[in-house]
Structure 1
């Protein structure tokens, strides 16, 4: 398990509007393509610098591919990164102001302190 890689995925997808839309419409394909193309690259480095050890495990891949943000939170994904990406993807499906944010809070309400460790 790599919290770094989970957070890198959330961070990089959230900053690319086309990738946000692709992830919304084709999550499993987007996760697979991102993992093949972006996971080996070090964050903010030239493409020539890469690593071979970073990959999602099955639980991470499944949670990402099904938009399961409560599972991502339980796996240690940073809640701010998760929330901002999922707001970009799903807020438009909720007509009431802050409706998605309330749903997010309800779906994570079963977590109690101490929360899962988000340190990478």
Structure 2
């Protein structure tokens, strides 16, 4: 797994309202677009240095498209990045205060220490 690439996806999508909404409504299209258009330029300051070797694994792509924060965490994605993005995308679907965050945590309740390595 490229934890850096997955975390960079989560970070950049969370920082752009339009991209967050696009990911919420069209996850497959957003992941595919981001992988082609953004992944190769993230490490470099100029487009002339664009790389073509960065891509998600099938498991990463599936978890991102499926909005599966549990699988992402188990693969080593940083939980704060998924949590902040999930709040932006899904908190509105839960009428009770903190209901989304409690659901997020409940789905991770089976995970015991030591937690997956989240270093990049």
* TM-score in same-fold range (> 0.5): yes
> Equivalents in 2 of 1:50, 1:42: separation in Å?
8
For structure 2, the residue ranges without an aligned partner over 5 or more in a row are none
Cα deviations by residue, 1:48-99 (Å, 9 ceiling, x for unpaired): 3322221000000000001011000001000000000010000000001111
Return the TM-score normalized by structure 2: 0.96
- 1:8-19 counterparts in 2 under 5 A? 8-19=8-19
- Deviation of 1:6 after TM superposition, in Å, equals 0.3
Aligned to 2:71: 71
Aligned to 1:26: 26
C-alpha spacing 1:116/1:50, structure 2 compared with 1 (3 Å): same
> Equivalents in 2 of 1:47, 1:100: separation in Å?
38
For structure 1, the residue ranges without an aligned partner over 5 or more in a row are none
Q: Report if the CA contact (8 A) 1:35-1:55 is conserved.
A: yes
Q: Report if the CA contact (8 A) 1:40-1:52 is conserved.
A: yes
Q: Report if the CA contact (8 A) 1:42-1:51 is conserved.
A: no
